[in-house]
Amino acid sequence: MNPLHALRALRGVVTRELLRFVHQRERFVSALVRPLVWLFIFAAGFRSTLGLSPTPPYETYILYEDYITPGLVGMIQLFNGMQSSLSMVYDREMGNMRTLLVSPLPRWFLLVAKLLAGTLVSVLQAYAFLLVAWFYDVRAPIEGYLTLLPALVLAGLMLGALGLLLSSFIEQLENFAGVMNFVIFPMFFLSTALYPLWKLQESSQLLPVLAQYNPFSQAVELIRFALYGQFNAYACAYTLASLALFLSAAVIGYNPSKGMMQKKGGKQ
Amino acid sequence: MNVPMAPALFIDNVSLFYGEKLALDKVSFTVSRGECVILLGPNGAGKSSLFSLITRLYDTREGAIEIAGFNLKRHSTKALGRLGVVFQQSTLDMDLSVERNLLYHADLHGLGRKLANTRICEELERQAMFERRHETVRQLNGGHRRRVEIARALLHKPDVLLLDEPTVGLDMPSRKAIVDYVHQLSTTQNIAVLWATHLVDEIFATDQLIILHKGIIRYQGSVQQLLETTAMPSVASAFQHLTKGEK
């Protein structure tokens, strides 16, 4: 593969994704409003009922809003990953996907380009949310906003790869509701986004185990530590491994000889 | 760089199954540069399945496909780089401008911005669409969208142009304009054209013809030969005869 060709193709895919994002203002607004509702209403309501003892990376008692913010950043990326998946299925139904798939580049590269473009959008959304949270007095150390960037990129890539993988299985747009019920909600609620693991341990033996193995939990922890200028090596390794797994499976899913499309004789 | 003397498109014994159902049965033909080949077949004949194989949306499991001498399975990126495609269903992004759609395609084919802009101007001018380059695709009518898709398919100067029923849903003047333009292309730009259709009035007397029915090639050759072989007065009746009344 010619590197210059690859760079130009990447530019094309990223530009298209950004233009679509700019044109779909309601997508940006809803991506921002969703976590803000959780922050302004849900977190405010639960502030007094959920007592949080200091656990790393927090060195002292914190407000529930501070705890939930990294989880909501993860939520933005989770929803963005699924939104990318939805747009892949939509593109496939509308036929736009063919433009991408018949271009003279390896499938894996095209998927990675899509993934990078989607991640860029999710990082922009996450920072927009953190800016609003800042004015709401939910603030992390200044340097945390910088150390957060690589964590957001990695988490965004992992959740985007999961979205890509799901899109290779979903034949029709109508089936996407199942993704909400069986992927997004369980991943979100069965994670450390809203409550720490030890809180879950108080009420169940199974749930904390599931939450610990949930890749979304590890992505949230990676974000949480990074926002406070710290590095969580385990969360990073787990997120990286999940990314490798999801992306490999997505590449196989979109491979014309091995993927789901060939098996289904479906349209691409 | 093309493989010297290789046909622009070479289809060799290609078969395709959807589960147990046979969609294409040992299909073989070639298309040379400067030649316009009409792939004629009723709905469900296997035309779109064949196009999905040539564009590598599906993998070729039985048989081989070569584009400009490059085997599609072994050298897929080189082969696909020499292919221009107009799909049956529009593949333009409705919310992007005409120009932005073409730039996206140019980027995917690795064209530099300067060259891409020059080619976009050339192709849109040929299609009388240059003035509308800043409009979104959604603002265009069906005929104009098709013109943009043809301009896009030619942007990277392919050896082979595939058109899968590109005139479906268009009015007569738009259909005629596209049919005339594509026929000109094969001779003026020395492109190999493979045009899938079920409409016999899109065929020129000089075209080569492949009649596909239920995944099997029923006829291959010139229009003249078809009329002689079948002893029918017109392509329409010969087509009907070969497909046993099924249009």
Distances, alpha carbon B150 to alpha carbons A117, B84, B120, B144, B206, in Å: 27, 8, 11, 10, 22
Distance of CA A157 to the CA centre of its chain: 7
Question: What is the ipTM metric for this complex?
Answer: 0.85
Indicate the residue of A16, A95, A262 with minimum beta-carbon distance to B58. Answer: A262
Q: Does the structure show a pLDDT above 70 at A193?
A: yes
For residue A262, name the pLDDT band (cuts at 50, 70, 90): low
In a domain, B13, yes or no: no
Which tens digit of pLDDT belongs to each residue from A214-259? 999 999 999 999 999 999 999 999 999 999 999 999 999 887 766 5
- Domain range for B107: 93-157
Within 13 Å, how many C-alpha atoms sit on residue B8's CB side? Answer: 23
Contact state of B108 with A15 under an 8 Å Cβ cutoff: no
**Residues B164-201: pLDDT tens digits?**
998 887 888 888 888 999 998 888 989 999 999 988 88
Asked if residues B38 and B210 have their Cβ atoms less than 8 Å apart, the reply is yes
For residue A102, give the nearest of B18, B80, B112 by CB distance: B80
Number of domains, chain B:
1
- A65-90 per-position pLDDT tens digit: 889 999 999 999 999 988 888 888 87
Residues whose CB is less than 8 angstroms from the CB of residue B228 and which lie 6 or more positions away in sequence, other chains included: none
- Do B55 and A5 lie within an 8 Å CB cutoff? no
d(CA B59, CA B61): 6
**Residue A100 to residue A102: CA distance in whole angstroms:** 6
Q: Which of A99, A110, A111, A260 to mutate to test the interface with B (most CBs of B within 10 A)?
A: A99
DSSP state of B17: E
Is residue B38 a contact partner of residue B207, using CB atoms and an 8 Å limit? Answer: yes
Residue entry with tokens 């007397």: B205
pLDDT tens, residue by residue, A112-146: 999 999 999 999 999 999 999 999 999 999 999 99
Contact A55, A232 (CB under 8 A): no
| Location of structure tokens 């792939």 | B39
In a domain, B151, yes or no: yes
What gap in Å lies between CA A9 and CA B103, rounded to an integer?
A: 10
Distance in angstroms (rounded) separating the CA atoms of residues B218 and B40: 10
How far is Cα B28 from Cα B20, in angstroms, rounded to an integer?
21
What pLDDT, on the 0 to 100 scale, is given for residue A53?
66
Question: Cβ contact (<8 Å) for A256 and B57?
Answer: yes
Within-domain flag for B31: no
pLDDT, averaged across chain A: 86
How high is the pLDDT of residue A266? 43
d(C-alpha B62, C-alpha A210), whole Å? 45
Which one of B53, B107, B136, B162 makes the best mutation probe of the A interface by having the most chain A beta carbons within 10 Å? B107
Give CA–CA dist A219/A71, Å, rounded: 9
Q: Report the pLDDT value the prediction gives residue B6, as an integer from 0 to 100.
A: 80
DSSP sequence for A196-238: -HHHHHHH-SHHHHHHHH-HHHHHHHHHHHHHTT---HHHHHH
A30 CB neighbour count, 10 Å cutoff: 12
pLDDT in the model for residue B112: 94
Please state, in angstroms and as integers, the Cα–Cα distance from residue B51 to each residue in A117, B45, B194, following that order.
29, 12, 10
Q: Domain for residue B180, yes or no?
A: no
Collect all residues of chain A within an 8 Å Cβ-Cβ radius of residue B59. 255-257, 262
Inter-CA distances, A13 with A82, A97, A188, B154, Å: 18, 11, 29, 20
* Token pair in block for residue B124: 């849109």
Q: In this model, does residue A260 exceed pLDDT 60?
A: no
Which residue in the block uniquely carries the two structure tokens 């799909």? B87
List CB contacts of B147: < 8 A, sequence separation 6 or more: B127, B128, B129, B177, B178
Give the dihedral sign, CA A43/A44/A47/A53. positive
**Alpha-helix residue ranges (DSSP H) falling in B156-234:** 172-188, 223-230
pLDDT at position A9 is: 95
Please compute, for residue B190, the number of CA atoms within 13 A of its CA located in the half-sphere on the CB side: 2
Residues of chain B with pLDDT under 70: 1-5, 245-247
List chain A domain ranges: 3-264
Q: Collect all residues of chain A within an 8 Å Cβ-Cβ radius of residue B76.
A: 104, 106
Cβ contacts from A onto B, under 8 A: 100
CA distances A214 to A154, A217, A218, B151, Å, are: 16, 5, 7, 48
For A15, what's the count of Cα atoms within 13 Å in the CB-facing half-sphere?
18
CA dihedral (B59, B60, B64, B67) in degrees, to 10, reads -30
pLDDT at B1: 52
Question: How, if at all, do strands B83-86 and B9-18 pair?
Answer: unpaired
pLDDT at A177: 73
Please give the pLDDT value at position B2: 52
How far is Cα B162 from Cα B83, in angstroms, rounded to an integer? 7
The Cα A164–Cα A249 span in angstroms is 9
The pLDDT, as a whole number, for residue A265 is 46
Whether residue B62 is contained in a domain is answered as no
What pLDDT score was predicted for residue B247?
Answer: 46
Task: Name the minimum distance, in Å, from the CA of A43 to any CA of chain B.
Answer: 38
pLDDT (mean) for A54-62: 74
Contacts with A87 from chain B: Cβ below 8 Å: none
Write out pLDDT tens, residues B58-88.
888 899 999 999 999 999 999 999 999 999 8
Closest to B138 measured CA to CA, from B176, B100, B104: B100
Query: Among B16, B57, B70, which would you mutate to test the A interface (most chain A Cβ atoms within 10 Å of its Cβ)?
Result: B57
Choice between A58 and B59, residue whose per-residue pLDDT is larger: B59
Question: Which residues have a Cβ under 8 Å from the Cβ of A58 and sit 6 or more positions away?
Answer: A52, A66, A67, A228
Report the pLDDT value the prediction gives residue B211, as an integer from 0 to 100.
94
